[in-house]
Amino acid sequence: MAKKTAIKKRSVLKRPAKASSKASSGRKGAAAKPASKAATGKSTKPRRPSGPAWQWSAVETAAAIRSGAISAVETVEAHLERMRAVNPKLNAVVVDLSEGALKAAHGADKQRAKGGALGLLHGVPITIKENVDYEGRPNFNGVPANKGLIAPSDAPVVRNLKKAGAIVIGLTNTPEFSFRGFTDNPLHGLTLNPWDPDITCGGSSGGAGSAVAAGIGTIAHGNDIGGSLRWPAHCNGVATIKPTQGRIPAFNASAAAERPMLAHLMSAQGPLARHVADVRLALEAMSQRDPRDPWWVPAPLVGEKPKRPIKVALAKIPDDMDVDPAVAAALRQAADHLERSGYRVSEVEVPDINGVWQTWCDIITNETVVMQEAGMLKVTSEDFHRAWGGMKAKANVLDLKGWMQATAARNGHIRAWQSFFEDYPVVLAPTTVKPTPGPREDTVSAERAREIFWGEIRFISAINVLGLPGAVVPVALHDGKPIGVQLIAGRYREDLALDAAAAIEKRAGVLTHRLWQRMG
């Protein structure tokens, strides 16, 4: 059992002033239920959720389409109209699939009219990140030279979403080779954050985060090898889950070669959405088996209930990380929300977060240098070169023995964390300890890029080498910009991370409702 640490002057369990703005409570995630004929004695029409259709949650949207309160065509049209209204300023969606989406919506309505079972996301508009295969289209992954990589079939995650009835309205932007935490590339340009163009939308799923926050699609697909779901969720004020490796199948038939082993083991597909309930729904749809991924695991989506009250470890932040007061306030606020929801929160030293991050950095950097670096540098921009130089600056150069030692160390780190979860089933941790940086800040210098990954988002990137699930949920606004926190759980316990995220969301509200008031 990990010992509780004494609360020192840097402890986030101290109660600083709350972040400057409180989120609005927002609409609840469940769809309004029509009164039954038996209860009223009358025939009643299905009721629509309030507000424009593009503002509804995925749960509400799916229920409204299933009940006949709205058609799939009307739903898709509402999201396409929203995309046309806000995307020109954001550049979040870089491939417009309107024509195919409307055709699919007409088909969805015909299918519903025939009766029979409908998928979890029947008729629900979504977006896909432009770094997975979408049949018949180039898998650009932010690189103009990839124009010849035409996808012969849909990637498993795309196939699963379509099987669930989701309708893809567009493909979202990503940095070159999805290898930066900032979304910009020579092919499509810079994606902006809908809250403030002077801060990054994150990366590499920055287009996904920006789009879903702005109301383009109810769910956005993304992926994460060093924070690429959780970092954009934080930056854009939305929720996400980076699942356990093996939870959601992955494969790109367009790829010229198989991915290296550790890159595959540290990467995960996942959803971003405005509501935690939508993240959970999308996770279920995405998680279906696909034989093309040999690492897919048929694990249940809900595990054994832990002993109550559930103990949450508020991760003690290393002394060399300079924590902004607004971040400390948001962490305390999240801990308070959990306490009031019946959890028991204690500030605790988590197992060797610094060593875990260094193992992640060493493994991913050396694997990339050996397998991919030369090819990437030939076809990428100077911005990419600067950012990549900064990211790899803190990595140790490993020979074969060093590489084997690093992969062995990974096993030890995973074992330590799994043992830790026996006492604390959920860890509450920061996403970043600093305010959200500018949209191209990783290109300022190698030192600045290193500082961001090591000094600011250490708790995000480290989790990838462990293969653990991590959810992010918004907590508050500070100076008009969103702050999120991370909930980490044991392997294949996405349910515990999402339960804790939902408890925070219930009290913090849904931040994007504030954003829409500002955007109009």
The encoded tokens of residue 510 equal 């849904």
**Residue 257 CB neighbour total at 10 angstroms:** 8
Residues 493 and 299: their CA atoms lie apart, in Å, by 9
Which run of H or E residues covers position 454? none
SS3 515: helix
Residues 251 and 68: their CA atoms lie apart, in Å, by 36
- Residues 6+ positions from 400 with CB-CB distance below 8 Å: none
Query: Is residue 385 a contact partner of residue 377, using CB atoms and an 8 Å limit?
Result: yes
- Write the DSSP string, 36-58: PHHHHSS--PPPPPSS-GGGS-H
Residues 323 and 338: their CA atoms lie apart, in Å, by 21
SS3 476: strand
- Taking CA atoms, 462 is separated from 198, 453, 468, 487, in Å, by 27, 10, 10, 13
Catalytic positions are 129, 204, 228
Listed in sequence order, the DSSP H helices in 287-352 are 325-340
User: Phi first, then psi: what are they for 327, rounded to 5°?
Assistant: -70, -45
Query: Is residue 169 a contact partner of residue 216, using CB atoms and an 8 Å limit?
Result: yes
Residue indicated by tokens 């006949």: 68
How distant is the alpha carbon of residue 186 from its chain centre?
24
Residue type, 2: A
For residue 204, whether the previous peptide bond is cis, meaning omega lies within 30 degrees of 0, is yes
Residue type, 25: S
For the chain, how are helix, strand and coil distributed in percent, rounded to 5? 45, 15, 45
Based on its alpha-carbon atoms, the radius of gyration of the chain, rounded to whole angstroms, reads 22
